[in-house]
Every structure is written in structure tokens, then in C-alpha cells.
Amino acid sequence: MISGAPASGKGTQCHLITSKYDLVHIAAGDLLRAEIASGSENGKKAKEYMEKGQLVPDEIVVMMVKDRLSQPDSAEKGWLLDGYPRSSSQATALQAYGFKPDLFILLDVPQEILVDRVVGRRLDPVTGRIYHLTYSPPETQEIAARLTQRFDDTEERVKLRLQTHNQNVESVLSLFEDITVKVDGSLSKEDVFAKIDNALSNLIEQNNAPLGMAAT
Ligand code: AP5
């Protein structure tokens, strides 16, 4: 699992982790945005909460994540859960369905950096890659011309998202203390990944099996 405040770098690190370890990346925020794009009733309801920077109710999020975790590729390759759980009730539901994480990666980034990261973030709708106008600019003019911005990536909304994060984070962290690796997320993305990579390699060595296949 990977956790951290809005724009702490979860999506960026998930891309690097899955490129190396071939895990199935399951991001609660991406599942919700896909539901919004589908025009479903759940999507419409979710958007109301996301626009206010609040947590989408469990009745929508929990089953969405559980269904994705239950697909065969997640069981075969192992999963990397991003942005879930965000409350103790979500963590309890995960446990009740029998999904147990090996590691809880916590990206620690000072709040003053986060707003700047959100406002400068851009997404490539073709490749799914995450860019930043200053820290990770697009490689070509062609990519630059097609970049999009998320509807909740404004200074006003990220402050609300941060408030929600701060209200809920402690209740989740306390549940995973024994498997938590805290990483300084203010370093360059390569340096952050080097630390995560190290923690994952140690885990594989300890378990003597690929990720997702450890004996329990
Ligand atoms: P979600 O989509 O999960 O958003 P978030 O948690 O706010 O996180 P972000 O996606 O904004 O950031 P990130 O940490 O992935 O950072 P990134 O790598 O992109 O959730 C959106 C909403 O959905 C929530 O507000 C809530 O309403 C709802 N929701 C989601 N999950 C839910 C749940 N479980 N329950 C209920 N509701 C839920 O990086 C950000 C920027 O920084 C990029 O531009 C990147 O290029 C740059 N960057 C990254 N790393 C570095 C670095 N090391 N140095 C410099 N720049 C960097």
C-alpha cells in the first residue's frame, strides 16, 4: 500500500514501482474518476464529494476497490493499493475481505510543497503519465499540447483535500504501524524511488518469494 497527502507523489511512485515489480496498480482516485467518466449514478454522487475535497462515502468506494482487488490479475501478480484505505472503516473492510498488505509506504512531504505540486500537475491522456510544469516537464511540444488538468487540482480545492487528509490520517496510520516504511517524499522522484525500491527488495529477500506470493 502507498499512502500520503494529496500530491505527495503516490501516483508518480506507483508508476516507477509497477514498471520494476509488475504489480497491479489500483488507485482509488482513478477508479472514482473512471466511474465519473462512465456517467453512472455512483460517479455523479462521487463527484459531488470530490469537488468539495471530501472522502467519497464507503458504500461507493469499498466495493469498487474490493472488486478490483478480486480480479485474477491482482491475485496472480500482487497488488499496489494507492489512496486506500483513508479511514479506519475502509481498513476494516479490507481486512474483512481477506486482503492483507505486506508493506505500508508512507510518503512524508511538508504541506507548503504540496500546493505547488498540485497546481503545476498535468496529465497525459494518451500515456497516463504524470507531469509537472516545473519539476517534471513534458519531453516534447506534442505532449505539452495535449496535457490536461484534473478538476480538483486548484489551490482552493487542494486546501480542502489537505484538511480531509489531516483529519483522517492518524486513524489509518495507527493500524499499519508495524509494517510502515516512512519515506521523505520531498526528495527527487528518483531518490524517493530508490528508498522504496530498497524496502521492497528487503521484503522480497525476507519472504524469499516475489511480491504478492509471500507465505502467510
Ligand atoms: P486521489 O486521486 O487519490 O488524489 P490525492 O490523494 O489527492 O493524491 P493525488 O493524486 O493528488 O497526488 P499523488 O500523491 O498521486 O501525487 P502525484 O504523483 O500525482 O483522490 C482524489 C479524490 O478522490 C479525493 O480527494 C477524494 O475525494 C476521493 N478519494 C480517493 N480515494 C478515496 C478513498 N479511499 N475514500 C474516499 N474518497 C476517496 O504528484 C503530484 C505532482 O507532483 C505531479 O505534478 C508530479 O509530477 C509532482 N511530483 C511527484 N513527485 C515529485 C517529487 N519527488 N519531486 C517533485 N515533484 C514531484
Q: Is 129 in the pocket of ligand 1 (CB under 6 A)?
A: no
d(CA 138, ligand 1 centre) in Å:
19
Residue 107: pLDDT above 60?
Answer: yes
Q: Is 4 in the pocket of ligand 1 (CB under 6 A)?
A: yes
For the residues 115-121, what does the mean pLDDT come to?
95
pLDDT given for residue 208 in this prediction:
77
pLDDT band of 33, cuts 50, 70, 90: very high
Q: Is 109 in the pocket of ligand 1 (CB under 6 A)?
A: no
pTM value > 0.85 = yes
Count, residues in the chain: 216
Q: Is 5 in the pocket of ligand 1 (CB under 6 A)?
A: no
Residue 213: pLDDT above 60?
Answer: no
For the residues 56-73, what does the mean pLDDT come to?
97
Distance (Å, whole) CA 81 – CA 98: 14
> Of 3.30.40.10, 3.40.50.300, 3.40.50.720, 3.90.550.10, which CATH number belongs to 2-109+154-214?
3.40.50.300
Domain residue extents for the chain: 2-109+154-214
CB 153 within 8 A of CB 118: yes
pLDDT given for residue 77 in this prediction:
95
pLDDT given for residue 156 in this prediction:
93
Q: Is 161 in the pocket of ligand 1 (CB under 6 A)?
A: yes
Residue 207: pLDDT above 90?
Answer: no
Q: Known catalytic residues?
A: 10, 86, 121, 150, 161
For the residues 38-47, what does the mean pLDDT come to?
97
Q: In this structure, which residue's CA is closest to atom 49 in ligand 1?
A: 9
pLDDT given for residue 150 in this prediction:
94
Q: Atom of ligand 1 at shortest distance to CA of 14?
A: 18
pLDDT given for residue 212 in this prediction:
62
Mean confidence (pLDDT) of the chain:
94
pLDDT band of 216, cuts 50, 70, 90: very low
Distance (Å, whole) CA 64 – CA 50: 16
CB 8 within 8 A of CB 1: no
pLDDT given for residue 214 in this prediction:
43
User: Which mutation among 3, 19, 118, 136 tests ligand 1's pocket best, with the greatest number of atoms within 8 A of CB?
Assistant: 136
d(CA 137, ligand 1 centre) in Å:
17
pLDDT over 70 for what percent of the chain? 97
Q: In this structure, which residue's CA is closest to atom 55 in ligand 1?
A: 135
Q: Give 3-state DSSP helix, strand, coil % of the chain, rounded to 5.
A: 55, 15, 30
